[in-house]
Chain A
Amino acid sequence: DAKTTQPNSMESNEEEPVHLPCNHSTISGTDYIHWYRQLPSQGPEYVIHGLTSNVNNRMASLAIAEDRKSSTLILHRATLRDAAVYYCILRDVPGTYKYIFGTGTRLKVLA
């Protein structure tokens, strides 16, 4: 199974950059790396995804290691509204499109 490992929690000061790491040493060559976040009392929401190259969108940036065994979600300027649980996920079994959420990283943003 393709699985991910993330720290349980991280803290950041408001308006500072945040780097959320994810290890996925068993990733297959065709797995996309996806990030979702879950705000309190809400369902998870899509943040960003990538395959090999670094990706940017209005919410965040995704930096993918050259060997694809790890990735980092970058929030350029954390705000209090970014306090959430961040999940890094991959497909479970290539071809079935099932994928597994881990326990994620709980990000605390300090004012």
Chain B
Amino acid sequence: EAGVAQSPRYKIIEKRQSVAFWCNPISGHATLYWYQQILGQGPKLLIQFQNNGVVDDSQLPKDRFSAERLKGVDSTLKIQPAKLEDSAVYLCASSLMRALNYNSPLHFGNGTRLTVT
């Protein structure tokens, strides 16, 4: 099966600019996650979708970050305006079921590396 696709692979922007990341999950996966991974740290969950509804966005900085998942398939994550501290890898993951307890592992894409100068 095809994996989780993310684009672009790399992005360099100046602070205060805007940027968008795209994710195409594995076909049939109802749950989609966006993670932020700062260098040297583990991934931090930003937002979780179940189909096209938001399940959890408690860690999403809503003053500058937004995400949507139209039609319950592809998703975009946007940052506007970007800050230096937003430099990180943004990972998208999907799973069949909402809960890990149902033995449905997460499948991650390779991420988008964002550098804010």
Contacts and interface: CB of A to CB of B under 8 A. Distances in A.
Interface residues of A, number: 24
Contacts of A45: 108
A44 B106 CA distance: 9
A51 to B, nearest CB: 8
A99 B48 CA distance: 11
B6 to A, nearest CB: 8
A99 B98 CA distance: 12
For chain B, give the interface size range.
Answer: 20 to 34
A42 B43 CA distance: 12
Most buried by B among A44, A45, A103: A44
Interface string B87-102: 0000101000011110
B100 A34 contact: yes
A98 B34 CA distance: 12
A101 B106 CA distance: 13
B39 to A, nearest CB: 12
A34 B101 CA distance: 10
Contact of B109 (A41, A43, A46, A104): A43
B105 A34 contact: yes
Contacts of A36: 106
Most buried by B among A41, A85, A98, A100: A98
A42 B55 CA distance: 26
Contacts of B108: 42-45
Contacts of B43: 44, 101
Nearest to B99: A97
Interface in A9-27: none
B61 interface: no
Nearest to A34: B100
Interface string B27-62: 000000001000011111100100000011000000
Interface of A: 30-32, 34, 36, 41-46, 49, 85, 87, 91, 96-104
16 contacts: A30-B101, A31-B101, A32-B100, A41-B110, A42-B110, A43-B4, A43-B91, A43-B93, A44-B43, A44-B108, A97-B101, A99-B45, A101-B43, A101-B44, A103-B40, A103-B42
